[in-house]
Structure 1
Amino acid sequence: MTRTREILGQLIAYPTVSADSNLALIEHLAGLLADAGARVEVFRDPSGGKANLFATIGPDIDGGILLSGHSDVVPVADQAWTSDPWAMVERDGRLYGRGTCDMKGFIAAAVALAPVYAQKAIARPIHFAVTHDEEIGCLGAQALAPLLQARGVKPRVAIIGEPTLMRVIEGHKGCYEYSVHFTGLEGHGSAPERGVNAVEYAVRYVARLLELREALKALAPPDSRFEPPWTTINTGALVGGVAHNVIAGKARVDWEMRPAQPGDADLVKADLHEFCTHHLLPGMRAVAPMADIITEVIGEVDGLIPTSENEAREIALALTGANGAGLVPFGTEAGIFQAMGMQAVICGPGSIEQAHKPDEFIALEQLAEGIRFLERLGDRLQVAP
């Protein structure tokens, strides 16, 4: 516990809000893992200001176990913290600081055990992945995936240490987020037929989203364990216009969907493309040929689909002593690793109820439970998969 707390305090001191660089934290972790004997790779993003880390301890073979966590945290601006969010403090059996539970606690525990893994990883390698920008679309993991595919040596099992109170989680819906930009033609509000009101077309687009949301309920898989069991759609924002008496020339719709099954996202996107192409744009361009509707993809992250065979689930159940695995409503990077062919599970210390809030904390008993889980995992590295 002492070493984990030391490392966690160091990680909290790096203010790795998604809008800012995570390079200093990644370099720090790279040094700790290299000192433990890991083979470390750091992959910078095109801007050079962000990076993913991938490290391996043990033989250079397929079938390893991947421990994964994201380095970025949500902002603290306008939150009422009672202590410095970037300086970990202990109070009443809890460690406070931004990222303590989401999810630097898991990362700290995994890295603290790297020297132990170096002694035990005889027959099976263990890998560490620390990514950037999970909070804004899992951008880091999506960039890391093709790089790992190209390496040739692939992990078999992925354990994503998001805070689940150490419950074993085998599934969650995907999360697809979009901003749709409408460009119309401004004019005087007294002659609306002479302009193209971007807000009005955005409203029609939202109405179509609502129709699709209802239609998706009928497509819910009969055996779905999700709550609700169908793919959901949510309109987060509609922004546009400048004044009461001006035809709105610009508008934006922010929306998301959370697919409950493969295929639903493609159905929704195809329907919206047809609706814009054949119903909205012709009317807009009949008045203003330059009018347009542009869809900006903020993030498309696949869900984690429960499967009948899942070694990651079986390992986590054995290590925790739990009788079964559950589902969660929030998204993670697990689906990205599953899409690469890994068997994935989510299991980590802390509660998601504390994530993203002021005075975020992880209970010391939860951190200790996570450490025990990772200690027992080391024994799995002495036996070939």
Structure 2
Amino acid sequence: MDMRAILDRLIAFETVSHMTNLPLMRFVEGLLAEAGIPSTLIMDETGEKANLWARVGPADVPGVILSGHVDVVPVEGQAWTRPAFEVTQEGSRLYGRGTTDMKGFDACAIACMLAAAKRDLQVPLILALSYDEEIGCRGVGSMIDAIADWPVPPRLCIVGEPTSMEAATGHKGKVALRITCTGRSGHSSLAPLALNAIHMAMDFGAGVRTLQAEIANAGPFDAEYDVPYTTLHMGKISGGVQVNVVAHTCVIDMEIRSLAEDDPLALIARLEAISEAVVAPLRGDFPEASITIERLWDYPGLGTDADADVVTFIKKLTGGNAHVKVAYGTEGGMFAQRLGLPTVVCGPGAMAQGHMPDEFIEIAQLQRCEAMMDALLARCEAGF
């Protein structure tokens, strides 16, 4: 089965993060098995999702990981003009949810594995497909734990998120937080006698904005990013029951996207100081007043040196000269940090098309990815 046929099948599986991915993983497992490639599924605790890894080539030689995720973001609320879970070709573009982020790369990597099964590789190729990347890189951890126990560790990792086939050496780390403000409920006609949790949340938000302005002015900075400093973003707020009731609770979901030079724990401590500054004046009259900060999930940033051998290697495979840093997060930081693996992000398509209605990928980008895979196969056959 060629790359395009594989892509058609992958897109047809509705692997939105809240849904099972097992039909897709079983399809990949069967496709690999037909080529004589054994694979391993690592199930989640529900039994509804799995990671998959497979190897072609010798087990006693450090190999190259081709890393991708198979989950996609929802299409609800988006104005699609083409079938979301079906590949539609129009001119030079292929439309469908996940074509860019990131089943295009997955299809290229799977096709590469099938081709590798017919070659005498001196350096193995390892396919690593994960779940729940789109909701905080939550799935790949169990696969990384398994790889950490291998007697022969991998050599390097290529994460195929969309970079227009340029070598991406870095991205920011992310911490997701939940801020819960607790006040005292009451009738709105007696509002000054109660403690409005929404007002507390607004005061906390003002403190966050002040801290963000401080960071934007003082840094640290990294000019290789579109936004060259650490960002604090409040993405969701909910509180109250109805207009004539003073809100007892208000919840803010927010994130920190931090440069390598910034310590997210230190930033969380700054947020704790902001919450204390809001609550302290209230405790005398409202001893139950509180603002708590809960750490929901996180993933580390990636910071591969631009002069590292892995970057030079990827540039040789793609024929490119440039390297970039990307605004979005990937699983690359986890492979680099937890396994100590030289890691580069490089894949077809541009994230500007990802997560959008009528998501698409240029066929030329897939062809460039296939060319990179062909060059990688030749290097693995020659022993690098």
Q: TM-score, normalised by structure 1?
A: 0.92
For residues 212 and 146 of structure 1, do their structure 2 counterparts lie closer, same or farther at Cα, with a shift above 3 Å needed?
farther
- SS state of the match for residue 139, structure 2? helix
Match of 1:350 in 2: 349
Residue type of the alignment partner of 2:103: K
What do you get for the CA RMSD once the two structures are aligned?
2.2
For residues 349 and 308 of structure 1, do their structure 2 counterparts lie closer, same or farther at Cα, with a shift above 3 Å needed?
closer
For the residues of structure 1 that align with 2:145 and 2:159, how far apart are their CA atoms?
18
User: How far apart are residue 275 of structure 1 and its match?
Assistant: 4.0
For residues 34 and 312 of structure 1, do their structure 2 counterparts lie closer, same or farther at Cα, with a shift above 3 Å needed?
farther
Q: What's the CA shift string for 1:170-198, capped at 9, x where partnerless? A: 11112222222223321122334543321
Match of 1:324 in 2: 322
8 Å CA contact 1:63, 1:124 repeated in 2: yes
Match of 1:374 in 2: 373
For residues 154 and 287 of structure 1, do their structure 2 counterparts lie closer, same or farther at Cα, with a shift above 3 Å needed?
farther
Q: What's the CA shift string for 1:231-286, capped at 9, x where partnerless? A: 1112223321233332111211121121012443111112223444x444555665
Match of 1:76 in 2: 75
**More divergent stretch after superposition (343-352 vs 79-88):** 79-88
Residue type of the alignment partner of 1:165: S
- SS state of the match for residue 162, structure 2? coil
Q: What's the CA shift string for 1:187-233, capped at 9, x where partnerless? A: 12233454332112212221221222123235534665323322111
Equivalent positions of 1:107-186 (< 5 A) are: 107-120=106-119, 122-186=121-185
For the residues of structure 2 that align with 1:144 and 1:295, how far apart are their CA atoms?
29
Aligned length: 383
- Can you give the 5+ residue segments of structure 2 that lack an aligned partner in the other structure? none
Equivalent positions of 1:1-385 (< 5 A) are: 3-61=2-60, 63-120=62-119, 122-217=121-216, 220-221=219-220, 224-276=223-275, 278-281=276-279, 286=284, 291-339=289-337, 340-384=339-383
- SS state of the match for residue 66, structure 1? strand
8 Å CA contact 1:157, 1:311 repeated in 2: no
For residues 144 and 173 of structure 1, do their structure 2 counterparts lie closer, same or farther at Cα, with a shift above 3 Å needed?
same
8 Å CA contact 1:59, 1:121 repeated in 2: no
> Structure 1 segments of 4 or more deviating over 4 A?
280-292
- SS state of the match for residue 116, structure 2? helix
8 Å CA contact 1:58, 1:122 repeated in 2: yes
Q: What's the CA shift string for 1:19-75, capped at 9, x where partnerless? A: 111111111111222333333111111121111111111111353111011101111
8 Å CA contact 2:178, 2:294 repeated in 1: yes
User: How far apart are residue 89 of structure 1 and its match?
Assistant: 2.1
Residue type of the alignment partner of 1:47: T
Residue type of the alignment partner of 2:57: G
- SS state of the match for residue 171, structure 1? strand
For residues 284 and 56 of structure 1, do their structure 2 counterparts lie closer, same or farther at Cα, with a shift above 3 Å needed?
farther
For residues 384 and 309 of structure 1, do their structure 2 counterparts lie closer, same or farther at Cα, with a shift above 3 Å needed?
farther
- SS state of the match for residue 113, structure 1? helix
- SS state of the match for residue 73, structure 1? coil
8 Å CA contact 1:173, 1:259 repeated in 2: yes
Q: Alignment identity in percent?
A: 37
User: How far apart are residue 142 of structure 1 and its match?
Assistant: 3.0
- Can you give the 5+ residue segments of structure 1 that lack an aligned partner in the other structure? none
User: How far apart are residue 292 of structure 1 and its match?
Assistant: 4.4
For the residues of structure 1 that align with 2:90 and 2:168, how far apart are their CA atoms?
29
- SS state of the match for residue 143, structure 2? helix
For the residues of structure 2 that align with 1:92 and 1:225, how far apart are their CA atoms?
34
For the residues of structure 1 that align with 2:234 and 2:221, how far apart are their CA atoms?
26
User: How far apart are residue 107 of structure 1 and its match?
Assistant: 0.7
For residues 144 and 112 of structure 1, do their structure 2 counterparts lie closer, same or farther at Cα, with a shift above 3 Å needed?
same
Residue type of the alignment partner of 1:320: T
For the residues of structure 2 that align with 1:51 and 1:104, how far apart are their CA atoms?
16
